[in-house]
Structure 1
Amino acid sequence: MDRFRQARRKWLGEESEGPDASYQPLEGGSEGPDGEPIEHPAQQEFSWIDYLIFMLLGVAMLWAWNMFLAAAPYFQHRFASNEWLLRNFQSAELSVSTVGSFGSIIVLTKLQARASYPKRIIASLAINLIVFVFLAMSTRLFLGVSAGVYFAFLMTVVLGTSLAAALCQNGLFAYVSGFGREEYTQAIMIGQGIAGVLPCIAQIVSVLSVPERKAELGAPQESSTSAFAYFLTATVISTISLVAFVYLRSRHGSREHIRHALESDESGIGSESEDTKAVPLTRLLHKLSWLGGAVFLVYTITMMFPVFTGQIISVRDQVSAPRLFHPSSFIPLAFLFWNIGDLLGRLLPAIPALSLTAHPRILLILAISRLVFIPMYFLCNIGGKGAKIDSDAFYLLVVQVLFGISNGYVGSNCMMGFVEWVDVDEREAAGSFMSLCLVAGLTVGSFLSFLAAGS
């Protein structure tokens, strides 16, 4: 064990000898300033039911986000009469969403004392349910409103979903951290990956299942009928997730039972306890600086891909190409390939040999290296102006899939590994802190995406 500690301190840039070595955690636990191990409670027994419910909640967390991205062709049709909105609505979506989420996350993080994380999760699902109903109605009612009016409506519902995302991010990662099992955190990350895949599939199916009509004003065409069915599926996802979470809460009893479990040295569950510990952000920043920085950079760089993906079309001749390669279906197809890669990346840390949760510095290096994918988009057919590499396979399989894998792999390692670097009573606060870093990266990346939109 002493050799293990010395090797770890050497990797972290510390002195391997002497009582003055600064505090650093052990893999799978923590140690005090003098090297004594800090005992962690025994983990709660693994449950596949809990695992699947957390996966479903991960789906619900990012369903709205990915739905707005995959529905780009429909929104392009609605904004076809306004050139500025047509070119910038997606960057505006990203900015409004991430700024709303970031501001909400900051407030929620400061309110960690006396926080009721389950209530935050329930509130987020209820908000999404209401928003999706309004979106579905918008495909049937007021179809003649101007592009500016519909843009105002869209930004309003995007802001609503950003609040829901913040509540879910903050509540769910804090809640799951109390279980003390990385598998459940990975289930959430996998669910987020699935949330990227399913909306794209639903969008492609909805487009191909409706007879094609001639596009007007050169905008990609998407029927109101397919959009209605598409948005309606989101209400179903939110409803099922809400019922599943209520069931999960019933499985683990009341907050008195949870408090008793904690006092009995058993694994606690993130709860609505009135005595939730407030942990200074400076302490969390000190312990989680590498992981927090890595997850921040991962999602800052990732935010470039939605704008490029919404602009890149197939290199095939649009007149003779199969319908799948028309913009209304090719754009969701490109999102699908990216999200398939993202989902694969989220699955990789489940293989012990590929897990990097004990190596935060490597994760930071990998996060920075993802910048190489940005210039690769300029080799593709942006706006139909021609591609430097005249191949849809290069765009879909090399750029989209690999960029997605890198996002899922590095992001999942960061969000799974933070519990190894904090004390047990800091887990919930650490979960909120990592969510803050994640949303901060999304926010910064969303503003940088305007540069990509104007390229």
Structure 2
Amino acid sequence: MDTSEDPLLPQAHGPIPKDRFHMVYFIFYLLGLGSLIPWNFFITASEYFKFKFRNTTLPDDEYLDPEHETDLQAMFESYLTLASTAPNLLFNLITTLLISRIGLKVRMSTALFLITSMFVLTASLVKMNTDSWQDSFFWITMITAVFINIGSSILGASLFGVASLFPSHYMQATMSGQAMGGIFAAVANLVTLALGSDVVDSGLGFFLFATFMSICTLIGYASLYCINYSRYHILEIGNTLIVPVQVGEDTVETRPTRSNGSGNTKLIIKRIWKEGLSVCLIFLVTVSCFPAVASSVVSVNNTDWTEKYFSGLVCFLLFNAGDWAGRSVAGTFKRPGIGKSNLLLVLSVMRVVFIPLIMFCNAQPRHDPVIFNSDAFPVIFIMLLGLTNGYLGTLAMMYGPSMVMAEHAEMTGAIMATCLTSGLVSGSLMAILLMKSL
């Protein structure tokens, strides 16, 4: 049997296919965008959820009045944080441990189906009058958030794993796509504010777009198996070996077999621990500051314009633009270079300076005096926070898989994703403490 003509199997010999027209690169950009934009739009719809949990005995236009804040409104953000961070970290670890036992197609398709179905459910409840069963709607929302984050966790770990099978700039494309998701959400929020859109209609738009992007992500992933270049890396480099098998006295055929993709996990961690610790610290510092502390910074110039747009523009759009720029630059300008793990770790630790810098801006409410009493300071600090997060974080994520053999690249990418998620979880807990100390 001659398998050389089988289009589903990678070829053991011959020239490596080329990424024609950079199609695979742009697909990874789309996958990065689609992996985070659903959750970005979920949290962007915070006003919609506050409207759903409002005091229904008051006029609808007073649902954001702090004096009439309901218990459900007050609990929403803290419960949402718990519903996102806990399952995210747990299933990231589970995915890493089972990465060699559960196929990539199963993981990716299951995660995307779960995310899409949860957003369909969320969108279907938007126009429904939930005023008489707010408590039930609250817990439905929390359970939905849990399942969305389970899917996002499996998707993220698997995506970083498969990106690790390709040259490092494909990891950079994935990271840049994720940052672009933040920009999309920030721009959508500003447009909604400018147009004065109805809060319920805005929520519906956010959830429908998130559903659409989840479907596009699934289509993008499936298309990787239709392109020679990506099929070669996933099926041959991705833990698939072509081995000779004796099937008769004079007949030998080649068959694909699965290598031990997990390898020696301890040895992998020993080799990449500095890059893993770096990415953990980078995102720990970032999430400690953003969005909780950064979004509490208000303009020192109290005008209608700044009251309406300052947080959305300076905090969310500026940070995400800086983050995207840093991730994009990391693909061509790599300093410190690969092998400079100690310097990368030092720079990651040095970013802790952003925590006091942003806290001493005009973050409200507060008890301590404001040191940086000018709007220029939060603009500079938040921009640099995003820029360094994107640049150093992408370098760490690119360098980790580059330091192991190709057969261990997918496992290494998943381990790096776990380190990143650990930083996100730790940072969210740190943010709670920082907000209480203002």
TM-score w.r.t. length of structure 2: 0.81
Asked if residue 370 in structure 1 is aligned to residue 343 in structure 2, the reply is: no
- Residue aligned with 1:454, SS: helix
| Equivalent position of 2:9 in the other structure | none
State the Cα distance separating 1:87 from its structure 2 match.
4.8
Asked if residue 349 in structure 1 is aligned to residue 330 in structure 2, the reply is: yes
| Equivalent position of 1:238 in the other structure | 214
Asked if residue 120 in structure 1 is aligned to residue 102 in structure 2, the reply is: no
| Equivalent position of 2:204 in the other structure | 228
Relative to structure 1, is the Cα distance of residues 145 and 368 closer, same or farther in structure 2, using a 3 angstrom cutoff?
farther
User: Percent of aligned positions with the same letter in both sequences?
Assistant: 26
Asked if residue 52 in structure 1 is aligned to residue 26 in structure 2, the reply is: yes
C-alpha contact 1:419 1:427 (8 A) present in aligned 2: yes
State the Cα distance separating 1:283 from its structure 2 match.
1.2
| Equivalent position of 2:372 in the other structure | 389
Q: Letter of the 1:171 partner, please give it.
A: S
Relative to structure 1, is the Cα distance of residues 442 and 73 closer, same or farther in structure 2, using a 3 angstrom cutoff?
same
| Equivalent position of 2:8 in the other structure | none
- Residue aligned with 1:382, SS: coil
Q: Letter of the 1:237 partner, please give it.
A: M
Asked if residue 401 in structure 1 is aligned to residue 383 in structure 2, the reply is: yes
Q: Letter of the 2:299 partner, please give it.
A: S
| Equivalent position of 1:65 in the other structure | 39
C-alpha contact 1:342 1:404 (8 A) present in aligned 2: yes
Once residues 152 and 215 of structure 2 are traced to their aligned partners in structure 1, the CA distance between those partners, rounded to angstroms, is: 16
State the Cα distance separating 1:391 from its structure 2 match.
3.0
Once residues 84 and 346 of structure 2 are traced to their aligned partners in structure 1, the CA distance between those partners, rounded to angstroms, is: 28
Relative to structure 1, is the Cα distance of residues 72 and 315 closer, same or farther in structure 2, using a 3 angstrom cutoff?
farther
State the Cα distance separating 1:176 from its structure 2 match.
1.9
C-alpha deviations, 1:380-432, integer Å up to 9, x for none?
3333558543433322x212111111111111001111122111211111111
Relative to structure 1, is the Cα distance of residues 263 and 374 closer, same or farther in structure 2, using a 3 angstrom cutoff?
same
TM-score w.r.t. length of structure 1: 0.78
Once residues 391 and 336 of structure 1 are traced to their aligned partners in structure 2, the CA distance between those partners, rounded to angstroms, is: 19
Once residues 234 and 278 of structure 2 are traced to their aligned partners in structure 1, the CA distance between those partners, rounded to angstroms, is: 36
Asked if residue 89 in structure 1 is aligned to residue 72 in structure 2, the reply is: no
Most deviating of 84-93 and 162-171: 84-93
| Equivalent position of 2:275 in the other structure | 291
C-alpha contact 2:38 2:211 (8 A) present in aligned 1: no
Asked if residue 185 in structure 1 is aligned to residue 202 in structure 2, the reply is: no
| Equivalent position of 2:182 in the other structure | 196
| Equivalent position of 2:60 in the other structure | none
Most deviating of 72-81 and 419-428: 72-81
User: Which residue, out of 163, 182, 197, partners 1:176?
Assistant: 163
| Equivalent position of 1:15 in the other structure | none
Q: Letter of the 1:121 partner, please give it.
A: M
Structure 1: gaps (5+ residues): 1-40, 212-221, 266-271
Give the alignment of 1:139-288 within 5 angstroms.
Answer: 139-145=126-132, 148-179=135-166, 181-210=167-196, 223-252=199-228, 258-259=235-236, 263=241, 274-288=258-272
Once residues 111 and 338 of structure 1 are traced to their aligned partners in structure 2, the CA distance between those partners, rounded to angstroms, is: 35
- Residue aligned with 2:131, SS: coil
Asked if residue 99 in structure 1 is aligned to residue 75 in structure 2, the reply is: no
Asked if residue 358 in structure 1 is aligned to residue 339 in structure 2, the reply is: yes
State the Cα distance separating 1:175 from its structure 2 match.
1.3
Tell me which stretches of 4 or more aligned residues in structure 1 moved more than 6 Å: 253-257
State the Cα distance separating 1:110 from its structure 2 match.
1.4
C-alpha contact 2:334 2:395 (8 A) present in aligned 1: no
